Structure 1
Amino acid sequence: MPKLTRFLSDALPVFWHAARLPKQLFAINPFDGDCLPSRVRLFHPGSDRPSLPFPHRWNFHDPIRILETYFHAADDEPGPGRHNRYLDVPGFAPVLVTRDPGIIRAIATATGDRPGQFDRDTMPSIGIARATGKDTLLFANGAEWKKQRKIAACPFGKTTLYQPEQFGEFAETFRTTVQQRIEVLREHLASHDQESIDIRLEPEIKVVMLEMLTNNFFGAEISYDELCNRYVPALERVIDHIVSDTVRNKLGIPWRKLPGVTKRIAQAKQDDAAFEELTQCVLAPRSENKALWKQFKSDAPDAKLISNLKVFLAGALEATTSYATWAISHLARNPAAQEKVFQEVKEIDVYTPETLASATYLRDVLNETLRLTPSLYFLPRRATADTWVNTADGRTLFIPNGTHILLDVWHANRHEDHWGVQASGYRANEFAPERWQHLAASGCATKDILHFGFGHGPRVCPGKHLGELEVSLVVGAFVKTFQFQANNDVTPVRAGVSTKPADGTRVQMSLR
């Protein structure tokens, strides 16, 4: 019986695609409703669209351009096809890409483990699963995802993180780190007789983020030098490998089992060993009930936690670094906004939940950062049944079973229709923290102005509150300590697992 069940589960998608094949060959729209998407061609010779509408060996390093391809010339199109596009290749499931915030919200809200709900499409994250394991909050679906979510809820919850003792530990560790980096900068400026320094901040921020997670959150005792010189470089290379492995390794070959006959494979094995070593370092304090391990309400054996720990560690290097580097990059190009943040934080000597809550302009800066440059630039979903989606404003969309869905947060947040002057008081593609006060004064409810920076719905990022805490501390302390400006007025995006400033957050900075 198990073999028969497995055969049917493998065969049914084939039969399903065969049944749809005539409609695909005649280009009949598989969707329905009043949010009907328009069709994108697989190949479009003679057009100037930026890429092919699917990842392959020569374009996977620029996923933002792949998303842009779906909306090439879309602004000239009237109706719902302006923000909803689909690709339907004979023999394959359709792909729906939407930059409509109403559709994004409706699909994200209707995601879950119940029959007929949307689930996370694991196809874009198979490289992550091969590097960390499949039994994680990021990759698992259905009942397994629900179990993992329940385990992580308590230690990652806002109530736990904002307890005075725990919050104080985060603030103290960061204060120590800042003092160390200030002293290094002072020594550099003194030895070179300079008042300012040109520096790429991304490498420094990565170390700080990883340190707060390993030493504060998990209670490990790893030195700054070890993190900087060993673990951060190894994790960077592991993450780069994850991105390429997702696209290139179509056969799913376990590279860990390959002999280290090439320099690339040998380096990958060394990096994987460092990743495993770091994971064991943060797991060890569990036996002593240190840090937030004492909030961990699960009798799961250590071996069952390793995959999620790897995801959290990689996430510290990706999503939170993205968040912080974009915020600093924007402030480096907006001196007036930088000064307003400084006026809020200059008198803060001890960071507490109350002092952070009082820094309202800093909060607006961080919200605007997540809107304009979200770390999670798209949210992958998959229809598990023929489904009608209903938006909050009464629109409908029928999505057929098996559809791959890309909720294109990056372009939804940058479109004038959704976040432009009429909608928010400022142009959609400009960094304007004042936008959030304008929206509040206009009577917009928080639930109606979603930037999806941490996702939305049941599968919202479990590290949301931890990320907000870490980035608030980093950006607040950085602005209080340093003056900084960017060398260029604009910076392009670099996208992989998350987005980051392409220049590595290069600034000219000096001590205040």
Structure 2
Amino acid sequence: MRLLKNIWQQIMDINPFKGDVLPSRVYLFERGRPCLPFPHLLNYKTPLALFDAFYTNAKSSDLFERDNRYLYVMGMPPVFITRDPAVIRAILLATGDKPGQFDRDTTPMTGIARVTGVNSLLYANGKVWRKQKQMSAGPFGKGSLFQPEEFHEFEKTFRKTIEKRLIVLRDAQKVSKKNISRVEIENEIQPIMLEMLVNNFFGGSVEYKELRERYVPALLSLIDYMITNTVAPNLSAIHQFISGKGTDVKRWREALEDLTDIALSGRGEKSGHWKNFIDKVEDEEALRSNIRVFLAGALEATSSFATWTLSHLSRQPELQEQIYSEVKDIDVYDPESLTEAKLLNQCLNETLRLTPSLYFFPRKATADTWLKLDDTRKIMIPKNTTIRLDIWNANRNEAFWGKEISGYPADTFSPLRWDELTRRGITRKNLTHFGFGLGARVCPGQFLGQLEVGLVVGAFIKVFKFKAVTNASGVRAGVTTKPDDGTLMDLELR
């Protein structure tokens, strides 16, 4: 019955949404778009263009209709894409495991689940997700990470790891006897982030060389494979069979399993941060699934966060010097000293706003759901609607983040906008950049990620002056976003 209703509404061009404000329709075939408005083998590696395809012909004078769009074809439920921060906020806050709430749409993560497991915090829904969330609340919570005694031990091991790697980079430059060295910083950041997670957080033991030469390449290749396996699983399997690449995939998966074993090795002695995990785990495979997700996620998300921050700063030398004056005398990055490094924190916040690692969140309507916005307007989203919350474009929305609101254009890296927002009485409670999500599904690793990236960026600025090779970086998007030049820059020792 619903299928017939959908077909009838589509033929008659009846908007399936209801309420005070309605999204406008996207048609399957229209001129002038960068690509078709659905993922396929020709556009899946340029997902931001896919979002742009939804907005290209939105010519309505109404801002809501331009920022909220839906696709309605072939009798299927609507696909709803929004770059409207108010709508995104309302949907994220109405997400959970209660009847009638929005749930995560797992479609974009099927390839990931086939590799990491279906019972992970990333993929699971309902009661299974709730259990996974409870398991991760202790070790990743702010109250656990920032307990003074524990934090100092934790921060010290992180700081030593970073300093050790930067010393190697510094010494290599001294040996070369060059004043300036050209380096792709992304290649340096990735093994550092993985080392901090495996050795410092989980208390494992793996050599840096093995991380750099085996585990990082294997995980990056596996992540790329997961994306292809999500978009075209059958074609991916055929390609593996014909090309013999199945052997490579097996080797990458073995590397992830080995690294998972290393991360779990400190569990018995409660080394690293294991003492904050639940002692008895009902589902050991679910624990392994979550560790796999944490390993791949940390490599992707924190590397993205750190490289984007350094990329932005590489084009603003005056900001580098101001941050250097903040951090040059900081030897311990405890919560107090990090708070005092005000500009560094503003740069981190601005990075998450302008270039978020996680550029969209997938959701699905489990029932006909009335959504109430902060200004009391309402919209009804039909049951089974596929929802894509476009964080990348929402965080660049001029009406919410632009000059009239923050004093600076929305599409520029301007850390001082956070001072201006404070001066105007606008707080994070009123304005959210969704860098780590919001609501029940907020990223559990947000505090760990902020700590890691703050330490890396602060330590990097203490050792080097750095300048981007190109005038601007484009964006490379897969599971996360990254600068498309590998964060290529010229380094000069201070």
Counterpart code for 2:318: A
Quote the Cα distance in structure 1 between the aligned partners of 2:448 and 2:290: 15
Q: How does 1:368-447 map to 2 (within 5 A)?
A: 368-447=350-429
Gaps of 5+ in 1: 1-14
Tell me whether 1:286 sits opposite 2:271 in the alignment. Answer: no
The answer for the alignment partner of 1:156 in structure 2 is 140
Counterpart code for 2:22: L
The answer for the alignment partner of 2:119 in structure 1 is 135
Gaps of 5+ in 2: none
Tell me whether 1:243 sits opposite 2:224 in the alignment. Answer: no
The answer for the alignment partner of 1:87 in structure 2 is 71
Q: CA distance change for structure 1 residues 259 and 189 in 2, over 3 Å: closer, same or farther?
A: closer
Give me the TM-score of the superposition, normalised by structure 2.
0.96
Q: Residues 373-413 of structure 1: CA distance to partner in whole angstroms, max 9, x if unpaired?
A: 00111111100000110011111111000000111111111
The answer for the alignment partner of 1:5 in structure 2 is none
Quote the Cα distance in structure 2 between the aligned partners of 1:259 and 1:391: 47
CA contact (8 A) 2:60 2:66 kept: yes
Q: Residues 111-156 of structure 1: CA distance to partner in whole angstroms, max 9, x if unpaired?
A: 0101100000111111111110110111111111111101110111
Counterpart code for 1:32: K
Counterpart code for 2:247: A
Q: How does 1:207-226 map to 2 (within 5 A)?
A: 207-226=191-210
Runs (4+) of structure 1 moved beyond 6 Å? 258-261
Give the Å deviation of 1:204.
1.1
Match of 1:299 among 255, 277, 280: 280
CA contact (8 A) 2:159 2:455 kept: no
Q: CA distance change for structure 1 residues 319 and 392 in 2, over 3 Å: closer, same or farther?
A: same
RMSD: 1.8
Quote the Cα distance in structure 2 between the aligned partners of 1:75 and 1:426: 25
Give the Å deviation of 1:436.
0.4
The answer for the alignment partner of 2:252 in structure 1 is 271
Quote the Cα distance in structure 1 between the aligned partners of 2:445 and 2:88: 21
Tell me whether 1:352 sits opposite 2:318 in the alignment. Answer: no
Q: CA distance change for structure 1 residues 429 and 91 in 2, over 3 Å: closer, same or farther?
A: same
Tell me whether 1:194 sits opposite 2:178 in the alignment. Answer: yes
Quote the Cα distance in structure 2 between the aligned partners of 1:71 and 1:119: 25
The answer for the alignment partner of 1:35 in structure 2 is 21
Give the Å deviation of 1:76.
5.5
Quote the Cα distance in structure 1 between the aligned partners of 2:137 and 2:216: 27
Give me the TM-score of the superposition, normalised by structure 1.
0.93
Tell me whether 1:312 sits opposite 2:312 in the alignment. Answer: no
Quote the Cα distance in structure 2 between the aligned partners of 1:216 and 1:166: 12
CA contact (8 A) 1:151 1:298 kept: no
How many residue pairs end up in the alignment?
A: 493
CA contact (8 A) 2:323 2:344 kept: yes
CA contact (8 A) 2:165 2:192 kept: no
Quote the Cα distance in structure 1 between the aligned partners of 2:170 and 2:247: 39
Between 334-343 and 187-196, the greater mean CA deviation after superposition? 187-196
Give the Å deviation of 1:334.
1.2
CA contact (8 A) 2:24 2:58 kept: no
Aligned to 2:429, the other structure's residue is in SS state helix
Quote the Cα distance in structure 2 between the aligned partners of 1:203 and 1:454: 24
Quote the Cα distance in structure 2 between the aligned partners of 1:35 and 1:366: 35
Aligned to 1:286, the other structure's residue is in SS state coil
Give the Å deviation of 1:161.
0.8
Give the Å deviation of 1:34.
2.2
Identity between Structure 1 and Structure 2 (%): 50
Aligned to 1:287, the other structure's residue is in SS state coil
Quote the Cα distance in structure 1 between the aligned partners of 2:91 and 2:376: 14
Counterpart code for 2:197: L
Aligned to 2:456, the other structure's residue is in SS state helix
Quote the Cα distance in structure 2 between the aligned partners of 1:165 and 1:509: 36
Quote the Cα distance in structure 2 between the aligned partners of 1:278 and 1:79: 48
The answer for the alignment partner of 1:454 in structure 2 is 436
Quote the Cα distance in structure 1 between the aligned partners of 2:134 and 2:230: 28
Counterpart code for 1:37: P
